[in-house]
Structure 1
């Protein structure tokens, strides 16, 4: 018997999008999995229709919007699987994408997390993720390897990478039991990078497995460029550094933020007359100042 895989996905006002994912999951060739859908207190959606169309799933209806980490953690608490597969609801999966991920984790118990190759749904010939570069101690940003490049075989080498991609990541349940679940202070963005750092500090590797892939519609919930996204990315970028950088690295990054990043972004939003983004950006800065002693 193959080990049980718990597939966990979050729905927020996107039942139709979630139904598309579940339709693709039904074609999976992997023989042993369960599906957990967490509805994050959708205000303008009826998640019950997901259960009606796919009665085999476990539908958890949260009473409040817990964000990415909180919603997934709610699913973890119900999961029975040996392996936990966290996957965005705005993805489509090919029928054989689970096998290689499970095999990777079974073959090397020092691997704590694995992500597949991620390609764009709107153009499956283009890559979104083929691993990550290290997080810069200046900008507190990393780069997705292969981003917007053709899937021509150049990114087909599996191996250790610096961070995981939250759109699709598989983690052994034993690792979660040792290291803990995702911290919920982020709400949106950077929480998977933070979790990867926790798992690396525990002595495990982060892995990229291109034998598996998914198609990602990207940012359906929050919008590709919304004030909400501006706020959480700006807030959490600094929060990530505060939680994960060593003191000297943190001072470097904070100096860069104060004298380069913050003035540059403010100027950009002013010039483009993006007042809502400017407000969201400064709200993110003030959150970190107000919560200087809080790192989750």
Structure 2
């Protein structure tokens, strides 16, 4: 039986992380697990207490908040499993989730990464994810299939290749990780898993979804639904993703689209919603690209780290 390393990242949400650990202990049936929890610069360090309460789990403390990508990369460095399962700390597993994902990877060595079906935790039966459509590189838009619909099994036929894995739950083959490397940490938050999937594909692997496997997700526990942090990184990283993954002419077309369609639309929306404080945040997300190369480590946002 193949060993699975679970990596999850905590940031100021110890109770949420403990609920995940309880779920893994009480619900999961896959026997050969290694669990790694990275505390990503939380204000109060929970690791000493956790080490006493959960002696069989690996806990790692980062004094800095290194973001979603950085925190997971820290955990991956400790992983020894054949398969590496990155799950958000705001998820809870189902009984045979890991069994089904491993079985799929075992049957097809071309699969480099796979995600399960995702339901919203607070609204069981409501879909969050059954796969992604391919990216339109001229607009940097794609769709999350089935989101906000009641799950009647209407998308289960889509089990197989998908546009992208979902960052809340993605299992990667060790060999694929070793070839493609970890997530790009300068995204910090959002789009990093999409960029990672692109590199997995360029390394010669497929990205799959198994809709017979299910996980529950407590959406937006860490960041919130509308914050300056989210507004900045969603816009900055949308542009960054195209800079890193699209050819020159496509990037030029995207820039024209963004300038002529996205900028006026967003500004008007901020004004209409009286969200005036988002205007300089949005402008900073755009102008970051005039000052920084695509691999710059300058995040461009005043984080408390």
* TM-score category of the 2 structures, normalised to the smaller one: over 0.9
Give the whole-Å Cα distance in 2 for the aligned partners of 1:275 and 1:13: 28
In the other structure, the counterpart of 1:76 is 76
Give the whole-Å Cα distance in 2 for the aligned partners of 1:256 and 1:44: 44
Could you tell me how far 1:247 is from its partner in structure 2? 1.6
Q: Identify the range of structure 1 (276-285 vs 179-188) with the bigger mean alpha-carbon deviation.
A: 276-285
RMSD, aligned CA: 1.2
Structure 2 residue runs of 5 or longer lacking an equivalent are 297-305
**Aligned: 1:254 with 2:255:** yes
Q: Which TM-score applies when normalising by structure 1?
A: 0.96
Matches within 5 A, 1:104-143: 104-143=104-143
Give the whole-Å Cα distance in 2 for the aligned partners of 1:126 and 1:139: 28
Aligned residues: 294
Question: Is the CA contact 1:15–1:45 (under 8 Å) kept in the aligned structure 2?
Answer: no
Matches within 5 A, 1:115-264: 115-157=115-157, 158-264=159-265
Could you tell me how far 1:45 is from its partner in structure 2? 5.3
Structure 1 residue runs of 5 or longer lacking an equivalent are none
Could you tell me how far 1:279 is from its partner in structure 2? 2.2
Give the whole-Å Cα distance in 2 for the aligned partners of 1:247 and 1:12: 37
Q: Identify the range of structure 1 (15-24 vs 273-282) with the bigger mean alpha-carbon deviation.
A: 273-282
Q: Which TM-score applies when normalising by structure 2?
A: 0.93
SS of residue in 2 equivalent to 1:56: coil
SS of residue in 2 equivalent to 1:283: helix
Give the whole-Å Cα distance in 2 for the aligned partners of 1:294 and 1:188: 15
Could you tell me how far 1:203 is from its partner in structure 2? 1.7
Q: Identify the range of structure 1 (36-45 vs 82-91) with the bigger mean alpha-carbon deviation.
A: 36-45
Could you tell me how far 1:54 is from its partner in structure 2? 2.0
Question: Is the CA contact 1:39–1:47 (under 8 Å) kept in the aligned structure 2?
Answer: yes
Could you tell me how far 1:137 is from its partner in structure 2? 2.1
Question: Is the CA contact 1:130–1:208 (under 8 Å) kept in the aligned structure 2?
Answer: yes
Give the whole-Å Cα distance in 2 for the aligned partners of 1:244 and 1:262: 22
